């Protein structure tokens, strides 16, 4: 996997990728991340990469020439045909499905903007897709680019380095038809500040533990992210567990568990 990041802050990107699962995957050569700085393509004595917006208003816009040269240099190093992606709040929502698709490809060129944005002609001529992490404004596209890299690299074969399956967790495709939120986790001690680990997890009944976890995931998802269940419905055991929970909740007057 060859990922290029076009950014005015290469240090920020490299530092963030030096840790944990992603850091190890890069160390092992599962992924290569290279930065291209538009400033190195600026031609004037001040190495200018921004200019005032046509039409007026506050702030600056990333000027097209150095940015175009940086994107072209990055795309020339990347495997042929990889998508050039601009991280912006105007993009289509990022998703686990997109991460999976990209993890099965040869690489990406990620373009991180700064200031008030990039010249629209760059979007028209050198961006294949605009992707958003959510409805908020940041000070640049580097953190969203890092989120995309993290989501993608951990899906590469061997990145997790043990028997753990990356699809077992929230938003994986493996479980119960619908994408469900994760269940609660506990470790020692068995009692912390008066709160005990649920009894079923203390015992060795693995079928009961699996069932408890699925039920917790289903109930959490129903409360916190009903949109995830509405999208696909629930199959088999997950559906039964939700029906069971809703019956108990109705019996108890609808104010169960502080959920
Ligand atoms: C700044 C600004 C100031 C006044 C009025 C409107 C404004 N919009 C912006 C703005 O969007 N600046 C962007 C900062 C320029 C491109 C990089 N930046 C960015 C990317 N902010 N947020 C993102 C982003 C990317 C992906 N998903 C969520 C947010």
CA-nearest residue for atom 14, ligand 1, is 140
For residue 215, pLDDT over 70 is answered with yes
Given pLDDT bands bounded at 50, 70 and 90, which one contains residue 176? very low
Radius of gyration of the chain (CA): 23
For residue 233, pLDDT over 50 is answered with yes
Q: How far apart are CA 190 and CA 196, in angstroms?
A: 6
Domains by residue range for the chain, with CATH: 2-153 (3.40.1280.10), 169-251 (1.10.1270.20)
1-25 mean pLDDT: 98
Q: What is the DSSP pairing of strand 50-51 with strand 107-112?
A: unpaired
| Total-model pTM | 0.93
Q: What is the DSSP pairing of strand 50-51 with strand 61-62?
A: antiparallel
| Contact call for residues 141 and 90 (beta carbons, < 8 A) | no
Which of the listed residues 138, 139, 148, 151 should we mutate to test ligand 1's pocket, taking the one with most ligand atoms within 8 A of CB?
138
Q: How far apart are CA 108 and CA 87, in angstroms?
A: 12
Q: How far apart are CA 255 and CA 249, in angstroms?
A: 7
| Contact call for residues 119 and 130 (beta carbons, < 8 A) | no
CA of 79 to the centre of ligand 1 (A): 28
Mean pLDDT value across the chain: 94
């Amino acid at each position: 996997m060859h990922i290029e990041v076009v950014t005015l802050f290469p240090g920020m990107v490299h530092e963030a990728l030096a840790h944990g699962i992603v850091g190890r995957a890069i160390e092992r050569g599962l992924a290569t991340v290279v930065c291209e700085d538009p400033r190195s393509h600026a031609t004037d004595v001040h190495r200018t990469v921004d200019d005032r917006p046509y039409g007026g208003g506050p702030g600056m816009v990333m000027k097209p020439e150095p940015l175009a040269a940086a994107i072209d240099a990055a795309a020339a190093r990347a495997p042929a045909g990889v998508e050039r992606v601009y991280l912006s709040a105007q993009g289509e929502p990022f998703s686990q499905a997109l991460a999976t698709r990209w993890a099965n490809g040869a690489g990406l060129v990620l373009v991180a903007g700064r200031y008030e944005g990039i010249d629209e002609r760059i979007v028209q001529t050198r961006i294949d897709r605009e992707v958003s992490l959510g409805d908020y404004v940041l000070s640049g596209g580097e953190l969203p680019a890092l989120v995309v890299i993290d989501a993608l690299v951990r899906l590469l074969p061997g990145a997790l380095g043990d028997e753990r399956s990356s699809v077992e967790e929230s938003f994986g495709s493996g479980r119960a038809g619908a994408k469900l939120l994760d269940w609660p986790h506990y470790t020692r001690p068995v009692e912390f500040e008066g709160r005990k680990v649920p009894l079923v997890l203390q015992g060795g009944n693995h079928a009961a533990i699996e069932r408890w976890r699925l039920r917790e995931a289903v109930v959490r998802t129903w409360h916190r992210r009903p949109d995830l269940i509405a999208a696909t419905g629930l199959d088999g055991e997950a559906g039964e567990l939700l029906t069971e929970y809703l019956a108990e909740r109705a019996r108890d007057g609808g104010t169960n568990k502080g959920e």
